[in-house]
Amino acid sequence: MFIFKRLQMLKNIQFSRFCGIPKSFRLPLAILAFLTISGCAGLLPEEKTQPDQTVAKEQVDEEQPADAAGAEQDATKVAAITKPDPMKEKVAPLELVKGYGAINQLIKGKKTGDAIAKLQQLQTTHPEQSGPSYRMARLYMQQKQFEEALKAVNESIKIDPQNYYAHNLKGVVLRELGSFDKAKEAYVTAIDLYPGYPNSHLNLGILADIYLYDLGLAQQHYQAYLDLIGTEDKKVSGWVLDLQRRIQRGN
């Protein structure tokens, strides 16, 4: 019953954090906001599912000792502080930014098909930019066209392998498709590229908690998320406390 309620709640807030948007750019799902930096900024909201913003059950030989878990969390904090953001200095051309503005209007008018067609056109015109394919993937996710979303996000990653937003979104898509091990790989890749992005940690925590049943991994990445956001998140803090109790009970 507890897991069912957790899943229901995750569904209710799925697109608020799931895919990798910085929290300052979480917008209504119907809007593709745009920024002037990181050719894929202005993303559709994420799932927490974000979260996000979340594998077939993966057996672990034993729970991770508390001191080792703490050491890994400290290492994550250090990496987040010292590792540069690979997307920070990537600037989208003005023409592309204007194109995103036009796409926003199409989405507001509920013309999703036209928005996708426009994004395809922008991707053809700007083959070096990963943003258009990323946004296409988000729109396909909104339409629950997960196979198309996977194709689009793979294209985004092919164009820019350092786009950790795209790797994070790929994890969400793969989770929806039931490919939990591959989803974990995608989240881990996103975190390796930039440990300072909170939503990748949150998504991996949810995957480990609800789908992988890897409680130690879930606790580690929930805590990393909380450390990185710098503000209180009562829901996730509650999940951490619940995990601690479950780990102590041995389940």
Please state the separation of Cα 22 from the chain's center in Å: 10
Task: Give per-residue pLDDT as tens, 145-163.
Answer: 999 999 999 999 999 999 9
What's the average model confidence in pLDDT over 165-181? Answer: 98
- Name the token pair of 155: 């294209």
pLDDT at 51 over 60: no
Highest mean pLDDT among 65-74, 84-93, 153-162: 153-162
CA 221-56-244 angle, to 5 degrees, is 35
**Domains recognised in the chain with CATH numbers:** 2-249 (1.25.40.10)
CA atoms within 13 A on the CB side of 233: 20
29 sits in which H/E element: none
Task: Give per-residue pLDDT as tens, 104-127.
Answer: 999 999 999 999 999 999 999 999
CA distance 6 to 10: 6
What's the average model confidence in pLDDT over 177-198? Answer: 97
Calculate the average pLDDT of the chain: 77
Please tell me the predicted confidence (pLDDT) of residue 7.
58
State the first-to-last Cα distance of the chain, in angstroms, to the nearest integer: 15
* Residue in 103, 94, 115, 85 with CA at minimum distance from that of residue 196: 85
pLDDT at 53 over 60: no
Provide the 3-class DSSP secondary structure of residue 106.
Answer: helix
Q: What is the dihedral of CA 38, 43, 47, 52, to 10 degrees?
A: -10
Please tell me the predicted confidence (pLDDT) of residue 52.
33
pTM attached to this predicted model: 0.73
21-28: long-range contacts (C-beta < 8 A, 24 or more apart)? 21/45, 21/46, 21/165, 21/199, 22/197, 23/198, 23/229
Percent of the chain residues topping a pLDDT of 90: 62
Please tell me the predicted confidence (pLDDT) of residue 80.
55
Percent of the chain residues topping a pLDDT of 70: 67
- Name the token pair of 87: 């997307």
* Residue in 155, 147, 151, 104 with CA at minimum distance from that of residue 126: 155
